Amino acid sequence: MRLSQSLIPTLKETPAEAQIASHRLMLRAGLVRQMASGIYAWLPAGLKVLNKIAQIVREEQDAAGAQELLMPTIQSADLWRESGRYDAYGKEMLRITDRHERELLYGPTNEEMITAILRDTTKSYRDLPQIPYHIQWKFRDEVRPRFGVLRGREFLMKDAYSFDLDYAGALLSYKKMMLAYMRTFQRIGITAIPMRADTGQIGGDLSHEFHILAPTGESGVFYDAEFEAGDALGVGYEPAALEDFYDSMTTKYAATDEKHDLGAWAAIPDERKREGRGIEVGQIFYFGKKYSESMNYSVIGPDGAKLFPEMGSYGIGVSRLVGAIIEARHDEAGIVWPDAIAPFRVGILNLRQGDAVTGEICESLHAIFGADCLYDDREERAGAKFAEADLMGHPWQIIVGPRGAANGQVELKRRATGERFELPVAEAIAKVRG
C-alpha cells in the first residue's frame, strides 16, 4: 500500500475529546473516526487490525471445536420476553419499533437467539454437544461511553455458546474455551490473565474474566508471577493436557481489586506477587439450564426423557481489544503493534522521494511485501516520515536513504526495541520475514 494513495488520515495534533492514550493514538494514527458518542467508523488501517484480531479469534475458536455462524444485529422483543430479560435488561438495551409497531431491539448479546436456534434445530441428545459462535456488532446504550473503543456503545464481539447434555460436558466446554482464550491472547501478542469473576447480568455460578495488563487499566489486578511463564500454544485439547492446563490457570492466585482476598494473597511468596492494572477483554460463564429451561429448549435423551441442555457463554471484545492492546503497547512516539495484528507488518520510508536509487529500492520492497507494507512515498521530509512511522507503529521500518542506498544498504528498525541494523536489501527482507 502506498501512503500517498491511502485513506489513513493521521493527525499531528490530538483531538480535544481524547483523554487516554489508546483513544488519542487511534485517532492520530487514522484508525477510527468518531461518528456519534460511543460509535466509531473504522478506517482502512483500523479495520485491518480488527480483521486480523477477528481472524486469530476465529482460528482458535475453530481449533477448540466451536463452529462459526452469523446471527443478526436486530432481534425480536418476543424472544427476550421468553427468558424474562426484556424487562430485566433495562435502559442499556436499545429498543426499536418498526413501521408495523413491532418491538425490536439491537442485540446487546445473543443467549436468547442462539437458544432459539438450537431449540429449533437439535432434537436428540445425539445432536449435542455444540459450541456455536459468531463475531458480530453489539449495541449497549452505555450511560456514559468513554475511552474511545474501550467503552463504546457499538462494539464488535465474539460470542460463543456451549450446549451440553450434562454438567461434566458443560465443564469440559468451559475448559476448552479457557484454553482457546489463552491461546488467542498469546497469539495476538499480549499477556492476559484469567480471574475469577461474578456472573452479573447473565447469571450462573462459574465465570472468569480475562484481563490484559496495561498501566492505564480500569481495574487493579493481583496475580501470581507464574502466570507470566505460561505457554498456552504448547497445550492441545487432549483430555489430560486440557485438565492440567485448566488446573494451572485456576489454582494460581489472580484477582481484581473487587475480589482480592488478602488471606490468599498473603500465602504467596513475596517475589511472586504482582500488582498492576488490567483491562477486561473477555469473560466466560457457565450458567447451567437458565435459558434452556426458561425458553423450554430440551432434547430427547437416550432413555426417551426430556433433557434440558447445560449452557455457557464466552465473549471476547474484539473492538475493545484494539484499544486495550494499544494501552498495553505504546510509547511517547506512538503505537507499538505486536507483529501478529499490526495493520502493516512493515513500513517503507523513502527518505528522498524522487531519487532514482532510493525509489528503485523502495518500489522493489513494495512489490515484495505488497499489502503487508505501507510505503511512505509522500513528498515529505525524512523527519515527518520517521514521526509518522513511529506513530502508526509498524513492527518493522525499512529506511531507505540516499547515503546507504548508493551501496545497496538500507536501515532496518525494530519499532518495539528501537534497534537499528544497517543491512543489504536482501538481508533486511529476510529479517522482516523472520
Judged by the rule CB under 7 A, the positions of this chain that interact with RNA are 10-17, 19, 34, 36-38, 140, 142-147, 149-153, 155, 157, 200-201, 209, 218, 280-283, 315, 317, 319-320, 333, 351-352, 380-384, 386-388, 390-391, 399, 401-404, 411, 413
Q: Which is nearer to RNA, 10 or 76 (CB)?
A: 10
Say how far apart CA 222 and CA 267 lie, in whole Å. 13
Angle at 427 between CA 425 and CA 430, to 5 degrees: 115
Closest distance to RNA from the beta carbon of 391 (Å): 5
Residue 211 near residue 227 (C-beta atoms within 8 A): no
Closest distance to RNA from the beta carbon of 259 (Å): 13
Closest distance to RNA from the beta carbon of 421 (Å): 11
Q: Classify the C-alpha dihedral 285-288-294-300 as positive or negative.
A: positive
Say how far apart CA 169 and CA 310 lie, in whole Å. 8
Q: Which is nearer to RNA, 146 or 260 (CB)?
A: 146
Closest distance to RNA from the beta carbon of 372 (Å): 22
Residue 235 near residue 241 (C-beta atoms within 8 A): yes
Q: Which is nearer to RNA, 342 or 412 (CB)?
A: 412
Closest distance to RNA from the beta carbon of 91 (Å): 7
Q: Which is nearer to RNA, 308 or 350 (CB)?
A: 350
Closest distance to RNA from the beta carbon of 100 (Å): 25
> Helical H runs in 329-381?
356-369
Cα 104 to its chain centre, rounded Å, is 28
Q: Which is nearer to RNA, 11 or 430 (CB)?
A: 11
The three-class DSSP label of residue 280 is strand
Q: Which is nearer to RNA, 342 or 361 (CB)?
A: 361
Other CB atoms within 10 Å distance of the CB of residue 153: 20
State how far the alpha carbon of 276 is from the alpha carbons of 280, 371, 383, in Å: 13, 37, 36
